[in-house]
Protein backbone atom coordinates (compact mmCIF):
# COMPACT_ATOMS: atom_id res chain seq x y z
CA UNK A 1 0.00 0.00 0.00
CA UNK A 2 2.79 2.39 0.90
CA UNK A 3 4.61 1.61 -2.34
CA UNK A 4 1.68 2.61 -4.51
CA UNK A 5 0.99 5.80 -2.56
CA UNK A 6 4.61 6.93 -2.38
CA UNK A 7 5.14 6.22 -6.07
CA UNK A 8 2.39 8.58 -7.16
CA UNK A 9 3.32 11.26 -4.62
CA UNK A 10 7.02 11.02 -5.37
CA UNK A 11 6.45 11.39 -9.09
CA UNK A 12 4.35 14.51 -8.64
CA UNK A 13 6.84 16.16 -6.29
CA UNK A 14 9.76 15.56 -8.61
CA UNK A 15 7.97 16.98 -11.62
CA UNK A 16 6.76 20.23 -10.05
CA UNK A 17 9.69 21.02 -7.79
CA UNK A 18 9.82 22.18 -4.19
CA UNK A 19 7.08 24.80 -4.63
CA UNK A 20 4.45 22.16 -5.34
CA UNK A 21 3.66 21.64 -1.66
CA UNK A 22 2.52 25.27 -1.40
CA UNK A 23 0.53 25.46 -4.63
CA UNK A 24 -2.48 23.24 -5.35
CA UNK A 25 -2.20 20.85 -8.27
CA UNK A 26 -3.85 21.81 -11.51
CA UNK A 27 -6.55 19.48 -12.78
CA UNK A 28 -4.15 18.12 -15.39
CA UNK A 29 -1.39 17.47 -12.82
CA UNK A 30 -3.83 15.76 -10.48
CA UNK A 31 -5.16 13.70 -13.38
CA UNK A 32 -1.68 12.54 -14.40
CA UNK A 33 -0.74 11.63 -10.80
CA UNK A 34 -4.01 9.77 -10.32
CA UNK A 35 -3.55 7.85 -13.57
CA UNK A 36 -0.10 6.73 -12.39
CA UNK A 37 -1.63 5.61 -9.09
CA UNK A 38 -4.40 3.76 -10.98
CA UNK A 39 -1.81 1.96 -13.10
CA UNK A 40 0.11 0.94 -9.97
CA UNK A 41 -3.10 -0.38 -8.39
CA UNK A 42 -3.92 -2.39 -11.52
CA UNK A 43 -0.42 -3.83 -11.56
CA UNK A 44 -0.61 -4.84 -7.90
CA UNK A 45 -4.07 -6.39 -8.35
CA UNK A 46 -2.77 -8.39 -11.31
CA UNK A 47 0.23 -9.64 -9.34
CA UNK A 48 -1.91 -10.64 -6.35
CA UNK A 49 -4.46 -12.46 -8.52
CA UNK A 50 -1.68 -14.25 -10.40
CA UNK A 51 -0.18 -15.40 -7.10
CA UNK A 52 -3.54 -16.60 -5.78
CA UNK A 53 -4.20 -18.51 -8.99
CA UNK A 54 -0.70 -20.04 -8.88
CA UNK A 55 -1.43 -21.56 -5.47
CA UNK A 56 -4.75 -22.86 -6.76
CA UNK A 57 -7.31 -20.73 -4.97
CA UNK A 58 -7.97 -17.56 -6.98
CA UNK A 59 -10.41 -15.05 -5.54
CA UNK A 60 -13.44 -17.33 -5.08
CA UNK A 61 -12.16 -20.85 -4.36
CA UNK A 62 -13.16 -22.26 -0.97
CA UNK A 63 -10.52 -22.31 1.75
CA UNK A 64 -12.14 -25.20 3.61
CA UNK A 65 -12.35 -28.86 2.62
CA UNK A 66 -15.51 -30.98 2.29
CA UNK A 67 -15.56 -31.57 6.05
CA UNK A 68 -15.32 -27.86 6.88
CA UNK A 69 -11.68 -27.83 7.98
CA UNK A 70 -9.13 -25.35 6.63
CA UNK A 71 -7.39 -26.71 3.56
CA UNK A 72 -4.01 -28.23 4.36
CA UNK A 73 -2.59 -27.55 0.89
CA UNK A 74 -3.02 -23.77 1.16
CA UNK A 75 -1.69 -21.09 3.52
CA UNK A 76 -5.18 -19.88 4.44
CA UNK A 77 -3.95 -16.85 6.36
CA UNK A 78 -1.80 -15.64 3.45
CA UNK A 79 -4.63 -16.18 0.97
CA UNK A 80 -7.06 -14.21 3.13
CA UNK A 81 -4.59 -11.35 3.47
CA UNK A 82 -4.04 -11.24 -0.29
CA UNK A 83 -7.77 -11.47 -1.05
CA UNK A 84 -8.40 -8.61 1.37
CA UNK A 85 -5.70 -6.52 -0.31
CA UNK A 86 -7.30 -7.18 -3.71
CA UNK A 87 -10.69 -6.09 -2.36
CA UNK A 88 -9.21 -2.88 -0.90
CA UNK A 89 -7.40 -2.12 -4.16
CA UNK A 90 -10.52 -2.75 -6.21
CA UNK A 91 -12.49 -0.33 -4.04
CA UNK A 92 -9.73 2.27 -4.33
CA UNK A 93 -9.60 1.65 -8.09
CA UNK A 94 -13.31 2.39 -8.47
CA UNK A 95 -12.89 5.65 -6.55
CA UNK A 96 -9.82 6.58 -8.62
CA UNK A 97 -11.65 5.88 -11.88
CA UNK A 98 -14.57 8.06 -10.78
CA UNK A 99 -12.19 10.92 -9.93
CA UNK A 100 -10.30 10.43 -13.21
CA UNK A 101 -13.59 10.73 -15.08
CA UNK A 102 -14.37 13.99 -13.26
CA UNK A 103 -10.90 15.38 -13.90
CA UNK A 104 -11.00 14.42 -17.59
CA UNK A 105 -14.23 16.34 -17.99
CA UNK A 106 -12.70 19.32 -16.19
CA UNK A 107 -9.49 19.26 -18.24
CA UNK A 108 -11.44 19.06 -21.50
CA UNK A 109 -13.78 21.87 -20.42
CA UNK A 110 -10.75 24.04 -19.63
CA UNK A 111 -9.22 23.18 -23.01
CA UNK A 112 -12.47 24.10 -24.80
CA UNK A 113 -12.58 27.37 -22.87
CA UNK A 114 -9.00 28.21 -23.85
CA UNK A 115 -9.73 27.27 -27.47
CA UNK A 116 -12.82 29.48 -27.48
CA UNK A 117 -10.89 32.42 -26.07
CA UNK A 118 -8.07 31.75 -28.50
CA UNK A 119 -10.58 31.45 -31.34
CA UNK A 120 -12.13 34.83 -30.48
CA UNK A 121 -8.72 36.47 -30.43
CA UNK A 122 -7.77 34.70 -33.65
CA UNK A 123 -11.05 35.69 -35.31
CA UNK A 124 -10.67 39.37 -34.41
CA UNK A 125 -7.07 39.35 -35.66
CA UNK A 126 -8.16 37.65 -38.89
CA UNK A 127 -10.97 40.15 -39.33
CA UNK A 128 -8.50 43.00 -38.87
CA UNK A 129 -6.17 41.46 -41.43
CA UNK A 130 -9.04 40.62 -43.74
CA UNK A 131 -10.47 44.12 -43.51
CA UNK A 132 -7.13 45.72 -44.34
CA UNK A 133 -6.47 43.30 -47.22
CA UNK A 134 -9.95 43.75 -48.72
CA UNK A 135 -9.79 47.55 -48.70
CA UNK A 136 -6.45 47.57 -50.50
CA UNK A 137 -7.54 45.26 -53.36
pLDDT in tens, 41-70: 999 999 999 999 999 999 999 999 999 999
pLDDT in tens, 75-134: 999 999 999 999 999 999 999 999 999 999 999 999 999 888 876 655 555 566 665 544
Which residues are 64's β-sheet partners? Answer: 70
Per-residue DSSP letter, 137: -
d(CA 25, CA 29): 6
Helix (H, G, I), strand (E, B) or coil at 65: coil
Within 8 A by CB and 6+ apart from 100, the residues are 31, 34, 35, 38
pTM over 0.85: no
Amino acid sequence: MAAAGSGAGGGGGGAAGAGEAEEPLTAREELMALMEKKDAMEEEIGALVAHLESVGVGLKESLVDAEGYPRADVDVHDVRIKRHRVAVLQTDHVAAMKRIEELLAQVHAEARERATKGGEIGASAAAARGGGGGGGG
